[in-house]
Amino acid sequence: MSNMDIAHEIEHLREELNQHNYRYYVLNSPVISDYEYDQMMNRLIKLESEHPEFFDPDSPTQRVGSDINIDFKQVKHKYPMLSLGNTYNEGEITDFYNRVAKALNEPFEIVCELKYDGASISLTYENGQLVRGVTRGDGTRGDDVTANIRTIKSIPLKIKGDYPPAFEIRGEVYIPRLKFDEMNRERIEAGEEPFSNPRNTAAGSLKLQNSKQVAQRPLDCFLYYLLGENLPSDKHAENLEKARSWGFKIPKEYKVCRTLDEIFEFIHYWDSARKDLPYDIDGIVLKVNDLGQQRRLGFTAKNPRWAISYKFKAEQGYTKLLSVDFQVGRTGAVTPVANLEPVHLAGTIVKRASLHNADFIRSLDLHLGDMVYVEKGGEIIPKIVEVDIEARNPDAEPVKFITHCPECGTVLVRPEGEAAHYCPNAESCPPQVKGRIEHFISRKAMNIDGLGAETIDLLYSVNLIKDISDLYSLHPMQLTPLERLGEKSARNIIRSIEESKKVPFSRVLFALGIRYVGETVAKKLAMAFKSIDRLEQATFEELTAVDEIGERIAQSVIEYFADEKNREIIEKLKKAGLQFELSEEEMQTTSDALAGKSFVISGTFAKHSRDEIKQLIEKNGGKNSSSISSKTDYLVAGDKIGPAKLAKAEKLGIPIISEDDLLNLIGQ
């Protein structure tokens, strides 16, 4: 592969993973399995390690997926809540064990625990009282959901015993299976839609604004990790038992193991016995028992080196393929979906499964009426994994991928080198049009409240909006008579639309939905060209001259502005009053103390977030770069800096400075 092809694949993987992170952590509605996600993540990690020149601090590999919700106050974690590395085979457990043994070169113990399928939470206690409950968020900051946490009866508001003055304890909020089934029966009897699964329901419950509603949900909580300055013991397992004595619900199903054989014995036992548990687990977590050894082993940018999770193989079901539907997404990509005879699988009834693309269907040699094996990869998303050829009816018709868009009838195209088929009718294909509007109003774009997917669908169906510019022509009188909307909702929507006119240019540019122009790229283009008019006139050479703007992005920008329809929409948005050039505040620099200097930042910092440090550098005339090269002037190093970056800086003789050193350079 050429460097350009590698860069394109890395960019594509980052975009895909960011979207899946959003769906999993924010929407609680993932569309791929844990296994597929991990395979994509592992591929990206491999490419980035082999090609450090394409390093990006905002890559999904450098952070934990986010579940941050703007309706809650954001709280910075005292200790980052990092995710665990996942493995699906026992060989990688052996590799993990051997790595730990080699790194420590002394006896050690591994605590094996059940991996609960719920929502992660961190609880802070001061002087024996619960003072705060915070979600994982992006690993650095999370949502303060204390009011909701206080309604969970298994979480003590006060504790007793010889506890430290202040500490954190972390765990998982979950819903027992029987309680979940009972809750769904009540919802069905009341004429409401049943919830999909316990994990998503637990995570969604923590985000409810009304704590009285939360109190009505059968939430429970296991706690499994203690953090603080004055812990009772240097052993993780002993701390768990001490926390149990203080009144916390600590799981009993864990084991301190001293050999690999003991670890595998624990894994094999629970792979079978998990079906008898009253709650869902999807694997086993392994942690080094000694806290001092944990500190010595340290962390990568994303995971602790002293812990790993083993995922159980997904449960399979056997059922019949009834038909295949074809769905169209925002980008025009067409996804086939199998309709199945209902089958009970991993605690839920499965009726549909993803078929991914034409190549996937062809590889299965899938026929209508086939008996198929279905599994929930990662226990969440159903997927057909095998066809029972011997059970096939000789007259069965093969499943054929459609040739025309199921929504608008346009002939589908399959770009060279891509697996997906696309509908090229971007202007008037309903799912694409509505998808672009949904992207435009999203929180990181124009942040227009009150307009969800259902409302967009309603406004589109009654011909009130046909593209993003129509939002700014809406009037409360048009909205009030519509189903599910009233006078108050209509006023709120219009007010939020008006407020969106203050959104800065870089976010407006991101909101336009130009292919391959994500948040970071939009900021770079906005800073480089200052206005939409200058960007529209930019040549291919001018675009690729901008830092980190490659050929694919440049070509996409040119194609976007070459479309007359897109130019018409921008003109309407200009007349509506949106921000299409950088404000004086955005362009203004504080000083030229860092003029001509190039900086790379890495790690976590005590006084500023990574984004705030970037802004400080730019405001004082400096330039941020994503990768270290001979042109880098300084590496700004925080805690847990990546070892590869540190080694490269040392090899090239690049000065390594701290956050305080940087502040001194700019006179703060």
Ordered domains of the chain (ranges, CATH) = 3-62 (1.10.287.610), 74-311 (3.30.470.30), 315-423 (2.40.50.140), 430-584 (1.10.150.20), 598-665 (3.40.50.10190)
- Report the C-alpha gap between 660 and 668 in whole angstroms: 9
Q: Which residue has the tokens 């990688």?
A: 92
For residues 125 and 166, is the Cβ–Cβ distance under 8 A? yes
Per-residue pLDDT, 66: 38
For residues 372 and 384, is the Cβ–Cβ distance under 8 A? yes
For residues 352 and 339, is the Cβ–Cβ distance under 8 A? yes
Per-residue pLDDT, 232: 94
Burial of 645 (0-12, 13-18, 19+ CB in 10 A): buried
Strand ranges of the sheet holding 656-657, from the earlier edge strand across to the other edge: 623-624, 598-602, 634-637, 656-657
Is residue 565 annotated as part of the catalytic site, yes or no?
Answer: no
Q: Estimate to the nearest angstrom the gap between the alpha carbon of 554 and the chain centroid.
A: 26
User: What is the torsional sign of CA 647, 648, 654, 655?
Assistant: negative
Per-residue pLDDT, 204: 86
Among residues 603, 646, 652, the alpha carbon closest in space to that of 631 is found at: 652
- Report the C-alpha gap between 201 and 198 in whole angstroms: 5
Per-residue pLDDT, 65: 35
The stretches in the chain having pLDDT less than 50 are 25-28, 63-70, 378-379
Secondary structure of residue 344 in the 3-state scheme:
strand
pTM over 0.85? The answer is no
Among residues 458, 441, 430, 423, the alpha carbon closest in space to that of 512 is found at: 441
Which tokens sit at 516?
Answer: 């391959």
Per-residue pLDDT, 347: 62
Per-residue pLDDT, 67: 40
- Report the C-alpha gap between 392 and 400 in whole angstroms: 17
For residues 347 and 276, is the Cβ–Cβ distance under 8 A? no
Among residues 372, 299, 317, 384, the alpha carbon closest in space to that of 62 is found at: 299
At 522, which amino acid appears? Answer: A
- Report the C-alpha gap between 654 and 465 in whole angstroms: 54
H-state helical runs in 283-371: 291-297, 358-364
Per-residue pLDDT, 189: 65
For residues 169 and 231, is the Cβ–Cβ distance under 8 A? no
DSSP assignment string, 188-242: HHTTPPPPS-HHHHHHHHHT-S-HHHHHTS--EEEEEEEE-SS-S-SBHHHHHHH
For residues 649 and 656, is the Cβ–Cβ distance under 8 A? yes
Per-residue pLDDT, 24: 61
- Report the C-alpha gap between 111 and 307 in whole angstroms: 9
- Catalytic entry in 46, 78, 115, 488: 115
Buried/exposed code over 528-563 (b: 16+ C-beta within 10 A; e: otherwise): bbeebeebbebeeeebeebebbbeebbeebeebbee
Under DSSP, the state recorded for 402 is -
- Report the C-alpha gap between 300 and 308 in whole angstroms: 12
How distant, in Å, are the alpha carbons of 20, 68, 421, 461, 468 from that of 540? 31, 37, 27, 39, 27
Buried/exposed code over 214-224 (b: 16+ C-beta within 10 A; e: otherwise): beebbbbbbbb
- Report the C-alpha gap between 136 and 68 in whole angstroms: 8
Per-residue pLDDT, 668: 67
Per-residue pLDDT, 169: 97
For residues 96 and 88, is the Cβ–Cβ distance under 8 A? no
For residues 108 and 257, is the Cβ–Cβ distance under 8 A? no
Under DSSP, the state recorded for 290 is B
pLDDT in tens, 506-564: 999 999 999 888 877 888 899 889 999 999 999 999 998 887 688 888 999 999 999 99
Q: Which residues are bridge partners to 332 per DSSP? A: none
- Report the C-alpha gap between 312 and 280 in whole angstroms: 12
Among residues 81, 76, 49, 51, the alpha carbon closest in space to that of 65 is found at: 81
- Report the C-alpha gap between 546 and 449 in whole angstroms: 34
Q: Which run of H or E residues covers position 116?
A: strand 110-116
Among residues 107, 133, 128, 221, the alpha carbon closest in space to that of 175 is found at: 221
Per-residue pLDDT, 590: 61
- Report the C-alpha gap between 44 and 62 in whole angstroms: 11
Q: Which residue has the tokens 């209509």?
A: 490
* Residues ≥6 apart with Cβ < 8 Å to 176: 198, 218, 220, 278, 279
Angle (deg, nearest 10), helices 90-104 and 260-273: 150
Q: Estimate to the nearest angstrom the gap between the alpha carbon of 71 and the chain centroid.
A: 18
Under DSSP, the state recorded for 291 is H
For residues 648 and 631, is the Cβ–Cβ distance under 8 A? no
Angle (deg, nearest 10), helices 430-441 and 453-461: 130
Considering only CA atoms, give the Rg of the chain: 26
CA distance between the termini of the chain: 46
